[in-house]
Amino acid sequence: MWDYTDRVMDHFMNPRNVGIIEDADGIGEVGNINCGDALKLYVKLDDKKERIIDAKFQTFGCASAIASASALTEMIIGKTIGEAGKLSNQDIANYLGALPDAKMHCSVMGIDALNDAIANILGEKEKGTTHSCSHDTVYDPNGLDRTVCHCFGITERKIREIAEGNNLRTVDEITNYSKAGGGCGGCKDEIQSILNSICGINEQPKTPSQVMSEGLTNLQKIDMIQKLIESEIRPKLVSDGGNVELIDVDGNNVYVRLQGACAGCPSSHVTLKRWIEATLKKKVYPDIIVLEK
């Protein structure tokens, strides 16, 4: 049982400002029901379009998610857009007296919704477009918008924002504040690498197996990958009604074709990244990128 403050329980049991504002000046949407939490925030401005005179929310989530959204609406009513934009997720937690470490992501979700609504008001996004935990984010190995945690759709940019904004230094803290790393766990090493770069810590020397794998020929890589697919990956997929076929290996790119129940599954991208790619990265070589063909 989580140790909630009285104020958290009050906002959970008696949430303020639940509902919809039909003529809202700004709407912010974050999260995804499939990922466990979702929040839609409505903001109404005064006639001068400067000060927030009303705010309402709809949410799907736990007690902390409801309490955080309720508290947020109370905090922003009466503030100017500029004042509201300066609020942080820690301000929400402080307003509630505290949140359990593992529930800090609920306060982050609230601020993300607020920032999304403000962007809507300022014309930086259209109403009805959702800033969500999409599992379909295009993989960009060189950009900050690449997805690091495919279980919850968390990008490197988001991890950096949360880490720097809350002075976080461990993977467990990142998980508490964003859920990243809290699913299959396959991205934890990458999260640690991001934290190391923020802190100015040099990467650990490569292990002998990593050095060896970098010198492998393409045929040797294919052999290692094929053996791992046959011994570990395929049996797991077959047990769930799916299958996978290795199509080609081109440098660090491994091309596969999902079959059976995995073919056409809405979560196929997650299967590629959270299971197949994570396994190959860990047991063959760390720079592998798995792509469906």
Where b means 16+ CB within 10 Å and e means fewer, 104-119 reads bbbbbbbbbbbbbbbb
Residue type, 168: L
Report the pLDDT value the prediction gives residue 293, as an integer from 0 to 100: 78
178 is in which domain, residue-wise?
A: 147-199
- Tell how many helices (H) and how many strands (E) occur in the chain: 13, 8
Whether residues 71 and 174 fall in one domain? no
**pLDDT band at 136; cut points 50, 70, 90:** very low
Q: Is residue 17 part of a domain?
A: yes
Q: Is residue 266 part of a domain?
A: yes
Q: Is residue 132 part of a domain?
A: no
Report the pLDDT value the prediction gives residue 134, as an integer from 0 to 100: 40
Report the pLDDT value the prediction gives residue 113, as an integer from 0 to 100: 95
Query: Structurally, how many domains does the chain consist of?
Result: 3
Whether residues 212 and 286 fall in one domain? yes
The contacts of residue 15 (CB under 8 Å, 6+ apart) are: 66, 67, 69, 70
**pLDDT band at 132; cut points 50, 70, 90:** very low
Report the pLDDT value the prediction gives residue 14, as an integer from 0 to 100: 96
Report the pLDDT value the prediction gives residue 208, as an integer from 0 to 100: 46
**pLDDT band at 139; cut points 50, 70, 90:** very low
**Tokens representing 8?**
């958290």
The contacts of residue 236 (CB under 8 Å, 6+ apart) are: 275
Active-site residue flag, 35: yes
Active-site residue flag, 133: no
Report the pLDDT value the prediction gives residue 89, as an integer from 0 to 100: 95
Mean pLDDT over 32-59 rounds to: 89
Q: Is residue 46 part of a domain?
A: yes
Least confident of 94-103, 126-135, 277-286: 126-135
Q: Is residue 127 part of a domain?
A: no
Report the pLDDT value the prediction gives residue 199, as an integer from 0 to 100: 82
Report the pLDDT value the prediction gives residue 127, as an integer from 0 to 100: 57
CB atoms within 10 A of CB 235: 10
Report the pLDDT value the prediction gives residue 271, as an integer from 0 to 100: 78
Mean pLDDT of the chain: 84
Provide the whole-model pTM. 0.65
| 3-state helix vs strand vs coil in the chain, percent to 5 | 45, 20, 35
Q: Is the pLDDT of residue 263 over 60?
A: yes
**Active-site residue, from 106, 133, 149, 262:** 106
Q: Could you list the beta-strand ranges (E) of 145-237.
A: 147-149, 154-155
Which residue, chain included where needed, has tokens 């490197």?
A: 156
